Amino acid sequence: MSGLSLFWQRYRRNRPAVGGLVVLGLVVLAAAFGPLAYGIDPFDMAGRPSTLPSARFPLGTDVSGRDILAGLLAGARVSLLIGIAASLTATLIGSAVGATAGYVGGWLDAILMRVTDFFLTIPSFVFAVLIVAIFRPSVAVITLAIAAVSWPSVARLARAEFVSQRHREYVSACRAMGMGHLEIMLRQILPNALPPVVVIGSLTVASAILAEAGLSFLGLGDPNIVSWGYMIGVARTVLRTAWWMSAIPGVTILVTVLAINLVGEGLNEALNPRMRPR
Amino acid sequence: MSRLTFFALRIAQAVPAILAIATLNFLLLHLAPGDAADIIVASSGHGSPELVAELRRSYGLDQPLHVQFLVYVGRLLSLDLGTSLVFNRPVIELIGERLGATLIVMLTAIGLAVLIGLVLGIVAALRHRGWLDAFVSVAALIVYATPQFWLGLMLIVFFSITLDLFPSGGMRTIGVELGPLASVLDVARHLILPATTLGLFYVAVYTRLMRTSMLDIMTLDYIKTARAKGLSELRIAFTHAARNALLPVVTLMGVQIGHLLGGSILVETVFGWPGLGRLVLDALLQRDLVLLLGILFVSSVVVVVTNLLVDLLYGILDPRLAS
């Protein structure tokens, strides 16, 4: 049986994870094709303000008469884009730092881990707010800010994996064969250390989406695009008269993040069969 | 190593952490486009090149970087965090006024979360694979996925607007003279929704942690001994196992204090709670970087100090660590 079908056989056993994958797939489709298929500009003040769902506006309009469904579709792009890009960046940085610290050991390990622990100490959301405030909000800055506060936990995990692999026999064998350190790290140890890193990377996508929502709720979103957090921030002003306007983007965030977390747990069980939770 | 040496060592370890925070703050300040003089001139709307040069001299911005750094650290050590451009007052004063309100929300939230989490976790572990166990797991998944600030808004919709049970914002009822007891109750009434919003996430975290921790411990030999002695399962869980299961909870509390502070800032802006969160919002609106950096510095120091306290507490809970 191929590795992939073995993986799928294990993943499939976790029903919630399969459900999460289906929902996530729908969100990805909505983000990819939704804005084009729906064809309405989320910034266009197309109707009367604060209308209830109708045939013309399936989810109603916001305080400025903008189509809420169009906003959700545009926001899906932003959330997924920032979530995935921030997680990838954080996973790359974290893995590089953790792998180096774990493989090399000694004083370099001590220094790198001190730096990592230091970044774990700083209140991450406050730090992200400051980075975005200093460099002004844009998709790139927000992504980097979230990555900057997310990499330390990846680094800790990657280090633990590399430390546990470093003294295994296959590593000694590679060294005896004259293989270079970089080659051992990347081609020999990394494949073994990858499963837990993949899992934490997928969970980081979820936390990044939540962080982006928080930032744009505070008004630290990219001013040129609609995001879910921004929509909640706008709708908040009419919470008393139109609560659904805040509720809709919030539920969207909840469902998306829940789906990603379920997929993450499914990956965890399929990739690390021994670490299955009880 | 005596317990005293252990404590002294831990306290000494906090010093480099605080210096590192100061360094990061300094670097961020200098990464910002334009310096303090530019920002002051820009925010006042007018300024000649002479004024900018004068301001640079008075702020020491014409000095080499390492001199500026030493001056900066020296100021921080004497608790001088600079002057806020928005409020035109010392940053440390502004933070000092607001920190108390933030700590009230944080401590209430975490206190309730630990208490509820412990009980739910123990009960879920005792009824392993029962309906409560399943409910706790599902609820935790949903809570993990909920944006806190949005949860706050929904609680306002339900409990303030629809049911009119709790106030939707602020810390005190405005325009009413209250006696000492009544005023404490008044703050408590205002506190319930923000503390619930902030705490629910941690209820989920601690329930799950306590559950796993209890499940591990209930298989240990000393628990079997207690069972053999004929003690009731409930008594074993609460007196024998819970004490040891508590250790990871205490550790996590220390680790998460920074996360809690970040959450508090968002939740405060939802409820108009007069703490650091509102200060962050004011600072953001005016791009008051000096104030924001001051908040980052103070909140990081709060985290370092809390971790220190947690370590000391740990040394008391588990005497083996201090030896």
pLDDT, tens digit (0-9, with 9 covering 90-100), for B3-49: 777 778 777 777 888 888 888 888 887 777 666 666 666 656 566 77
Residues of A in contact with B27 (CB under 8 A): none
Would you kindly state where each structural domain of chain A is located, as residue ranges?
Answer: 26-43+59-275
* CATH class in words for A26-43+59-275: mainly alpha
Min Cα separation A124/chain B (Å): 7
Contact in structure between A207 and A150 (CB atoms under 8 Å): yes
- Neighbouring-strand partners of residue A66: A45
Q: Tell me what the mean pLDDT of segment B150-177 comes to.
A: 80
Contact in structure between A126 and B261 (CB atoms under 8 Å): yes
A165-174, B208-217, B236-245, B259-268: least confident range: B236-245
Does B154 contact chain A (CB < 8 Å)?
A: yes
Is 60 exceeded by the pLDDT of residue A201? yes
Q: What is the ipTM of this complex?
A: 0.88
Q: What is the pLDDT of residue B235?
A: 76
Residues of B in contact with A127 (CB under 8 A): 296
Band the pLDDT of B319: cuts 50, 70, 90: low
pTM over 0.90: no
Residues of A in contact with B297 (CB under 8 A): none
Query: Could you write out the three-class secondary structure of chain B?
Result: CCHHHHHHHHHHHHHHHHHHHHHHHHHHHHHCCCCHHHHHHHHHCCCCHHHHHHHHHHHCCCCCHHHHHHHHHHHHHCCCCCECCCCCCEHHHHHHHHHHHHHHHHHHHHHHHHHHHHHHHHHHHHCCCCHHHHHHHHHHHHHHHCCHHHHHHHHHHHHHHHCCCCCCCCCCCCCCCCCHHHHHHHHHHHHHHHHHHHHHHHHHHHHHHHHHHHHHHCCCHHHHHHHHCCCCHHHHHHHHHHHHHHHHHHHHHHHHHHHHHHHHHHHHHHHCCCCHHHHHHHHHHHCCHHHHHHHHHHHHHHHHHHHHHHHHHHHHHCHHHHC
Q: Tell me what the mean pLDDT of segment A3-16 comes to.
A: 82
| A vs B: CB pairs below 8 A | 138
Nearest-CB residue to A250 (from B144, B147, B261): B147
Contact B284 A218 (CB under 8 A): yes
Contact A257 B145 (CB under 8 A): yes
Contact B157 A123 (CB under 8 A): no
A262/B239: higher pLDDT: A262
Min Cα separation B58/chain A (Å): 23
Is 90 exceeded by the pLDDT of residue B97? no
Is 80 exceeded by the pLDDT of residue A117? yes
Band the pLDDT of A210: cuts 50, 70, 90: very high
Q: Tell me what the mean pLDDT of segment A249-274 comes to.
A: 86
φ/ψ of residue B100, rounded to 5:
-55, -45
Band the pLDDT of A276: cuts 50, 70, 90: very low
Of B273, B68, B247, B248, whose CA–CA distance to B170 is shortest?
B273
B55/A103: higher pLDDT: A103
Which residue is closest to B299 within chain A, CA to CA?
Answer: A123
Residues of B in contact with A278 (CB under 8 A): 128, 212, 215
Contact A123 B262 (CB under 8 A): yes
Chain A interface, mutation test: which of B153, B261, B276, most A Cβ atoms within 10 Å? B153
Of B102, B169, B257, B214, whose CA–CA distance to A123 is shortest?
B257
Which residues of chain A are at the B interface, by a Cβ-Cβ cutoff of 8 Å?
118, 120-127, 129-131, 133-135, 206, 210, 213-214, 217-220, 229, 232, 236, 239-240, 243, 246-247, 250, 253-255, 257-258, 261-262, 277-278
Q: What is the pLDDT of residue B308?
A: 83
DSSP per-residue string spanning chain A: --HHHHHHHHHHT-HHHHHHHHHHHHHHHHHHHHHHHH---TT-B-S-TTPPP-SSSTT-B-TTSBBHHHHHHHHHHHHHHHHHHHHHHHHHHHHHHHHHHHHH-HHHHHHHHHHHHHHHHS-HHHHHHHHHHHH---HHHHHHHHHHHHHHHHHHHHHHHHHHHHTSHHHHHHHHTT--HHHIIIIIIHHHHHHHHHHHHHHHHHHHHHHHHHHHHTT-S-TTS--HHHHHHHHGGGTTT-HHHHHHHHHHHHHHHHHHHHHHHHHHHHH-GGG---
Is 80 exceeded by the pLDDT of residue B198? yes
Contact in structure between B101 and B280 (CB atoms under 8 Å): no
* Top-ranked range on mean pLDDT: pick from A10-19, B154-163, B260-269: B260-269
Q: What is the pLDDT of residue A80?
A: 92
Is 60 exceeded by the pLDDT of residue B165? yes
Average predicted confidence (pLDDT) for chain A: 85
Which residues contact residue B43 at a Cβ distance below 8 angstroms, ignoring those fewer than 6 apart? B85, B286, B287
Contact A262 B141 (CB under 8 A): yes
Neighbours of B230 (CB within 10 A): 6
Nearest-CB residue to B293 (from A124, A130, A236): A130
Which residues contact residue B37 at a Cβ distance below 8 angstroms, ignoring those fewer than 6 apart? B52, B55, B56, B59, B61
Q: Tell me what the mean pLDDT of segment B99-122 comes to.
A: 89
- Both tokens of B255, joined, read 């680790």
Residues of B in contact with A133 (CB under 8 A): 283-284, 287, 289, 292
Min Cα separation A130/chain B (Å): 7
Contact in structure between A212 and A78 (CB atoms under 8 Å): yes
